[in-house]
Amino acid sequence: MSEQDIAARKLLPWHADVRSALSRRWREQGWPSALLVEGVRGSGKLALARHLAMDALCAEPLVQPNGALQACGECRQCLLMNADSHPDFTVLAPSDSRVIKVDQIRSLTEFAYTRPQISKRKVAILDPADALNLQAGNALLKTLEEPGSDVTLILLSEQRSRLLATVRSRCQYFRLPKPELTALNEWVAGQLASGKGAATSKSDETLLPELVAAMTLAYQFSPWRTLEALRAEGQQQPVLMTILDTLTACVEGQQDIFAGAQGLAKVPVEELLDLLLWVWASVFRLQLSDAAVSSADHTLVQSSALKDLQTLASSLEAEAAEAAYQSLLAFRQQFNEGRNPSVPLFLEATLMKLREGRRPPAQTGQSAGAVRPVDFLSALTQSQQLLR
């Protein structure tokens, strides 16, 4: 079974309480016709949704101490769910493109309006609902306006603002909470230690806690993406460290800008944009006073990334760092809208501006101090809206 298949089925430890709370709510209030679950990519949304679907379809659900009903895992319904062959359950995802098309929603409508075959209700998951194109969104709206009494649609979203407002308003909304940083780091470290990619040398074992902490923050508390990055085969350093090394080397004139841009362009574009957003947010954090730094950011002091981040924070004029951040946000917007902007040209322009924005040697190492907290918070808000 692939890592992606495991991630789609394995309920993360900190989601057990979430599942229980939602199951208890619906036992008391009845299952919703539509639920919108929002969370970052790789946060375990699909696995949680599948377990909720099992709770809804199970023939003999077990009563938990808190009153929640949860799937028994042994009845015919549960066995069919585990075998991906339950006739009253379906997962809708992009097929041959990055979008969910109107024909798929028409099939979903037919699924929703036919009676359950072997269970008391039907469950459909849209993953990700963000991928609905305009026509598909409008078609789904018709289903949501007149939902069947025995069907539940679970929409999974990385950014609910991408959905039509009329679709959002017809769903119960639930934001997947961030796990505790310590619990997430321990889980990732445990997965690394027990699976492929486990540390094999003393130096790796010493570095592992630092890398886990850095990558957890870089991937916005996404356990599966953090694990995937740390398990990358054939790499002595995670991608984050490579990006930081390239940025600092180009800013200090130790690496050719064209070569640096070409090297960074080899990183998958969505991963590159996510990590660059984190890099600039971290630089801003270091340029601000301690009062503006959250407790989670103090994990940076354990990270091998800190040296490069400190170099960028102290070597760059505040205006250059802010300009690079805003340029990244604009590029991200173009990419999300499907305009296919040139990644190498963007990287070359960014690296050139950064080198031009390097502080005079006499001032390097001094506190930047010119970044205003209000600007920083505004930039972070924009980046969170653009994260996918």
Whole-number pLDDT of residue 117: 92
- C-alpha closest to that of 187 among 225, 233, 227, 238: 227
Q: How far is CA 40 from CA 3, 18, 119, 223, 384, in A?
A: 17, 16, 31, 10, 10
- Amino acid at site 8: A
- Amino acid at site 17: D
- Amino acid at site 196: K
- C-alpha closest to that of 287 among 297, 273, 274, 276: 297
Helix (H) / strand (E) element for 70: namely: strand 69-70
Residue 30 CB: number of other CB atoms within 10 A? 9
Beta-carbon-side half-sphere exposure of residue 382 (alpha carbons within 13 Å): 19
- C-alpha closest to that of 81 among 119, 36, 30: 119
Whole-number pLDDT of residue 125: 95
Tokens of 308: 């490069």
Cross-strand bridge partners of residue 156: 37
pLDDT in tens, 53-69: 999 999 999 988 888 88
Q: Which residues of the chain have pLDDT under 50?
A: 197-207, 233-236, 289-302, 367-388
Dist CA 171 CA 156 (whole Å): 11
In sequence order, the 6+-apart residues with CB closer than 8 A to the CB of 372 are: none
CB 279 within 8 A of CB 243: yes
Q: Is 171 left (phi over 0), alpha (psi -120 to 50) or beta?
A: beta
pLDDT in tens, 112-170: 888 999 998 899 999 989 888 888 899 999 889 887 788 999 999 988 888 889 999 99
pLDDT > 90 in the chain, percent: 28
- C-alpha closest to that of 368 among 332, 334, 317: 317
Whole-number pLDDT of residue 235: 47
Tokens 């089925």 found at: 9
Helix (H) / strand (E) element for 37: namely: strand 34-38
Q: Where are the alpha helices (DSSP H) in the chain?
A: 3-9, 16-29, 45-57, 76-82, 102-112, 134-145, 165-168, 181-194, 202-218, 223-230, 239-251, 257-264, 269-287, 306-315, 318-336, 343-356, 373-386
Q: How far is CA 121 from CA 22, 24, 45, 148, 293, in A?
A: 17, 17, 21, 10, 48
Question: pTM for the whole thing?
Answer: 0.72
Whole-number pLDDT of residue 178: 84
